[in-house]
Amino acid sequence: MATGQPPKKGEYQKPPQGALRSPCPVLNALSNHGYIPRDGRNIHAADLKAGFAYLGFDPILKNYLVDGAFKVHEDDPKKVTKDTDVLGLRNPGQVDENGIPVLNLDQVGRPNAVEHPCSMTRRDREQGDCVSFDPELMAQLIGAAGTDGHYSMSDIAKYRKLRYAQQKRDNAELKFDVQQHTLACGEIGAFQATFGRGLFYKIPLSYMKAMFVDERLPLKEGWTPRWTWLGFPELAGVMFWIRHYAWPSKEFGVETVDSKKAK
Q: Which residues pair with residue 151 across a beta bridge? A: 203
What are the pLDDT tens digits along the chain (263 aa)?
A: 445 788 999 999 999 999 999 999 999 999 999 999 999 999 999 999 999 999 999 999 999 999 999 999 999 999 999 999 999 999 999 999 999 999 999 999 988 788 888 999 999 888 878 788 899 999 999 999 999 999 999 999 999 999 999 999 999 988 888 988 999 999 999 999 999 998 899 999 999 999 999 999 999 999 999 999 999 999 999 999 999 999 886 555 543 434 344 43
- DSSP assignment letter at 134: P
Number of other CB atoms surrounding residue 193 within 10 Å? 22
Do residues 31 and 87 make contact, with C-beta atoms less than 8 angstroms apart?
Answer: no
Q: Which long-range contacts (CB under 8 A, 24 or more apart) does 99-104 make?
A: 100/44, 101/44, 101/45, 101/70, 102/41, 102/42, 102/43, 102/44, 103/42, 103/43, 103/45, 103/48, 103/69, 103/70, 104/20, 104/40, 104/41, 104/42, 104/43
Distance of alpha carbon 191 from its chain centroid, rounded?
Answer: 7
Query: Which residues does 193 contact at the CB level (< 8 Å), separation at least 6?
Result: 201, 230, 234, 235, 238
Distance CA 79, CA 7 (A): 44
∠ at Cα 124 (119, 126), nearest 5°? Answer: 170
Do residues 194 and 207 make contact, with C-beta atoms less than 8 angstroms apart?
Answer: no
- pLDDT by residue (tens digit) across 46-89? 999 999 999 999 999 999 999 999 999 999 999 999 999 999 99
Predicted confidence at residue 3, as pLDDT, reads: 57
Structural domains of the chain in order of their starting residue, each with its CATH number: 22-115 (no CATH), 116-256 (1.10.489.10)
The torsion defined by the Cα of 121, 122, 123 and 124, in degrees rounded to 10, comes to -120
Strands (E), the chain: 43-44, 72-73, 84-85, 102-103, 150-151, 203-204
Distance CA 238, CA 188 (A): 9
Predicted confidence at residue 35, as pLDDT, reads: 98
Side chain identity at residue 216, one-letter code: R
∠ at Cα 138 (42, 251), nearest 5°? Answer: 95
Distance CA 184, CA 198 (A): 23
Do residues 73 and 84 make contact, with C-beta atoms less than 8 angstroms apart?
Answer: yes
